[in-house]
Amino acid sequence: MRDVAVIGVGITKWGELWEKSLRDIFVETALLALDDAGIDRIESMYVGCMSSGLFVGQEHIASLLADYLGQTPVPSARVETACASGGLALRLGYMEVASGMSDVVLVGGVEKMTDVNGYEATYALGSAADQEYEGYHGITFPGLYALIARAHMEKYGTTREQMALVAVKNHKNGAKNPLAQFPFEITVDSVLNSVMVADPLRILDCSPITDGAASVIICPVEMARKMKKPVIKVIGSGHATDMIALNQRKDMTWLEATYQAGRQAYDMADKRPEDIDLLEVHDCFTIAEICVIEALGMVEKGQGGKAVEDELTYIEGKIPVNPSGGLKAKGHPVGATGVAQVIEIVKQLSGDAGERQLKDPRIGMTQNMGGSGGSTVVHIFERE
């Protein structure tokens, strides 16, 4: 297999983009990525998108987006694995380049979520859970993650304040990201006194409904080396699944798919948790980030809450997590999130992250998760 590098990235400000359509926001980021890479043609494209049919009534977006990007007749595919759609799109694009089937591949992600009301958005997102055994009984994703949070609190002594600190940290980072949906800081008190959604989770523990897109261009490393920019290689890729329903799992506080995908990526990259300089992880709810860093081996089981309390996961800490602001502050257009995570890692490793730039990072990781952890994609990147 060939080594693969990211040579172009494109992302715009996320939020409630009333004046733009799904095709508009995707094409805008794809053109930015093409410009960043210095190319105008691709050989293939993969686009992560969870629920365009439910959110905007549009299916067959593989054809739609290739058409409006002006790239027909290149092969184009929509990728769906709930909120991990963007991460899986990258994995499939990576496999195509690594295999030698194509040299230049566009990987994108997009979701337009605000064209429906709150009830319809909740229904669309809920389709990523087990509809017969969870959705039928009325539980929503805040409810599922509330069950995880309560179990984690009972088993490990994780506190409400520790979960609130995850939101505080990520908003502190997001305040330095001009493209974030909510680029402002919050306090522990504001989290703890915000509206209750599903006990113990409050509204400021939850990622928002977001419109947004993100795109990257990947190619063989040999081609990337000819360009006048840092070479950011994809050195590890992992993908795993778990039982979709929480009640079927041995331990609802443990994200087995994340553990397995992480192990695959570590083995492929020949790296260990202590080698990772920064992470972008799937903090759809504050408890999710706590569980993810445990499953990836960054801290011991049950110590995720203490890690944020001790500021280990801050930009200035030993294990910087979500310097972009994460899903919590940057936003969470579900199909695009996994690709945006890659963009933050590429910017950090290239020294191009602005005010939130870490000091000389070399190895970064992304973790993109579907549903309540039923699927996970992990990638590891290294600056050559």
Q: For residue 302, is it left (φ>0), alpha (ψ between -120 and 50) or beta?
A: left
Cβ contact 163:305 at 8 Å: yes
Give the count of alpha carbons within 13 A of 211, CB side only: 19
Burial 239-255 (b: 16+ CB within 10 A, else e): bbbbebbbeebeebbbb
* β-bridge partners, 108: 47, 215
Known active-site residue 332: yes
Is 291 among the catalytic positions? no
Residue among 171, 239, 332, 379 flagged as catalytic = 332
List Cβ neighbours of 241 (8 Å cut-off, separation of 6 or more).
Answer: 257, 374, 375, 376
- Of 83, 206, 219, 284, the active-site residue reads 83
**If 0-12 CB within 10 Å is exposed, 13-18 middle and 19+ buried, where does residue 335 land?**
buried
- Is residue 48 within 8 Å of residue 333, measured between CB atoms? no
Show which residues are catalytic.
Answer: 83, 332
